[in-house]
Amino acid sequence: MDSIAATVAAEWDRSIVPVLTEYVRVPCQSPDFDPEWATNGLLEQAMDLLVAWAKAQPLQGATFELLKDDGMTPFLLIDVAPFDGRKPAPEAAAAADTPTVLMYGHMDKQPPLHGAWADGLGPYTPVIRDGKLYGRGGADDGYA
C-alpha cells in the first residue's frame, strides 16, 4: 500500500498540481457572477487547459467530446471504456450489466472576493504554502 500512496503522491505533484496552478490563474467565473462569460473566452480557456490535461492521461479507450450550446457553459464528456489494466475490455464486457461510474464537476469559479484573502494570497495568483495550493478554484470542483 505504501508504494501505491507514493505513486499517487508523485503523480499528484508531477501532473495535477501544475495544471491546477495554471487553472487558478484563469479568472473564469460562474455565469451568475460574470455577465460576459459567454463572450470573454475565459471558460473556454479553462476548458482548453483541462481538456489538454485529460487527453494527456493514459486512459486507453477514452473518448472526449466537448459540448457547446448557446447560452450554456461548455461541457466536457469523457467516456472511458471498460479496462482490465492492460487493454480495453472486449465489447462483451461493456454490456448493460457492467458497473458504471459517473463523475461530475464544474470548472467555473465563485467571485474573487478581492481583499478577503490572507496576506500574500489572492484569487488568481496561485501560491503553494505548506504543501497546499491557494487560489480560486484550486480546491473546489475545478479539479474535476
What pLDDT is attached to residue 58?
Answer: 86
Cell of 143: 479539479
Query: What CATH number is associated with residue 114?
Result: 3.40.630.10
- Mean pLDDT across the stretch 58-84? 86
Q: Is the pLDDT of residue 111 over 60?
A: yes
Distance CA 132, CA 144 (A): 17
What pLDDT is attached to residue 94?
Answer: 55
Residue 112 buriedness (CB in 10 A; 0-12 / 13-18 / 19+) = middle
What pLDDT is attached to residue 105?
Answer: 81
* Structural domain range at position 16: 2-143
136: nearest Cα among 113, 105, 119, 104: 113
Greatest distance between any 2 Cα atoms in the chain: 57
- Residue pair 110/141 in contact (Cβ under 8 Å)? The answer is no
pLDDT in tens, 18-57: 999 999 999 999 999 999 999 999 999 999 999 999 999 9
pLDDT in tens, 49-58: 999 999 999 8
pTM of structure: 0.83
* Positive/negative CA dihedral, 110, 112, 118, 122: positive
20: nearest Cα among 126, 121, 105, 130: 126
Count of structural domains, the chain: 1
Provide, rounded to the nearest whole percent, the portion of the chain with pLDDT above 90: 60
Cell of 144: 474535476
